[in-house]
């Protein structure tokens, strides 16, 4: 069926009514949701840098997209054959965008208003968890990673965060003497930069890690880093205990295990 000019105008009007969009999604008929995005074709431009690192066939798999925004990544997971895709966001405007885009493109995707801090309410684990561009918007980022590990991550975590500071990695000791303060001055030591007011005109940007910081946080929450296919993107596997914690701090390993304390 060939779309008429009236059809195309109506589609443009519907998309604009749900704006502004942060995800630029191709709705067909030459209509994109955010054609003037300040980052260009975003997040498509980023997706193309790491898409090949994810399984091409997700047939039979369940996917949870935490902080789904307008649904770009949720739609891409459906395109790879995922049996079930659930998108979570705490902003009703983004959820409305996601539902509209999925419906328009013919994908059966569920969207729910839920915060990352409430993922325990889902009561299930997912084969793939997407956590893209959310961490730096959180006041309690390590808690969020811990909750994802404890409640919903079944195997693969696809993680992305804005990073600032040194890209270097400082070797981390198992412990530090109280008087050893030089380590904290080294650019590659794990750190989070706290944003008191706003960053990029966005007052919801709270914490921005450096590379060493985010990798340490992922390991600390029980995610073994498998690859880094893009500068800000990590593919991780859920492990039973914080990665390497047994040798460094046995108490932490016990708390992160699949025993009673880790449930």
User: 132 in helix, strand or coil?
Assistant: strand
Rounded to whole angstroms, the Cα distance separating 198 from 7 reads 41
pLDDT at position 12 is: 94
Instruction: Write down the residue that tokens 């708390």 correspond to.
Output: 255
Q: Residue 199: exposed, middle, or buried by beta-carbon count in 10 A (0-12, 13-18, 19+)?
A: middle
What pLDDT sits at residue 79? 98
Rg (CA), the chain: 20
Average pLDDT, the chain: 92
pLDDT of residue 29: 93
Cα dist from 240 to 149, 154, 191, 253, whole Å:
9, 11, 25, 9
Across 240-251, average pLDDT: 53
Question: What's the pLDDT band for 249 if we cut at 50, 70, 90?
Answer: very low
Give the model's pLDDT for residue 241: 65
Strand pairing partners for 207? 194
Burial class of 92 by CB neighbour count within 10 A (0 to 12, 13 to 18, 19+): exposed
- Dist. CA 11–CA 25, nearest whole Å: 13
Per-residue pLDDT at 245 exceeds 70? no
121-174 per-position pLDDT tens digit: 999 999 999 999 999 999 999 999 999 999 999 999 999 999 999 999 999 899
Q: Which of 1-10, 41-50, 87-96 has the lowest mean pLDDT?
A: 1-10
Closest CA relative to residue 142, chosen from 89, 257, 90, 219: 219
Q: How far apart are CA 126 and CA 119, in angstroms?
A: 11
For tokens 């940007």, the residue is: 205
């Amino acid at each position: 069926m060939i779309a008429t000019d009236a059809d195309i105008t109506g589609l443009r009007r519907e998309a604009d009514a749900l704006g502004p969009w942060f995800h630029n999604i191709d709705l067909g008929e030459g209509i994109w949701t955010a054609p003037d995005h300040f980052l260009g074709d975003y997040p498509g431009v980023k997706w193309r840098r790491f898409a090949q690192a994810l399984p091409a066939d997700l047939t039979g798999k369940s996917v949870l997209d935490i902080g789904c925004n307008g649904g770009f990544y949720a739609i891409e997971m459906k395109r790879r054959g995922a049996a079930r895709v659930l998108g979570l966001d705490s902003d009703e405007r983004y959820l409305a965008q996601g539902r509209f885009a999925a419906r328009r493109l013919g994908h059966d995707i569920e969207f729910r208003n839920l915060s990352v801090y409430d993922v325990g309410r889902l009561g299930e684990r997912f084969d793939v968890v997407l956590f893209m561009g959310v961490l730096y918007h959180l006041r309690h980022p390590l808690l969020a990673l811990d909750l994802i590990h404890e409640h919903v991550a079944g195997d693969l975590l696809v993680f992305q965060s804005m990073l600032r500071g040194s890209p270097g990695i400082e070797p981390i000791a198992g412990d530090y003497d109280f008087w050893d303060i030089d380590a904290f001055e080294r650019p590659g030591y794990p750190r989070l930069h706290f944003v008191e007011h706003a960053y990029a005109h966005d007052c919801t940007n709270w914490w921005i890690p450096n590379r060493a910081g985010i990798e340490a946080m992922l390991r600390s929450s029980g995610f073994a880093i498998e690859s880094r296919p893009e500068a800000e993107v990590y593919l991780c596997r859920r492990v039973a205990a914080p990665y390497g914690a047994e040798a460094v701090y046995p108490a932490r390993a016990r708390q992160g295990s699949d025993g009673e304390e880790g449930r």
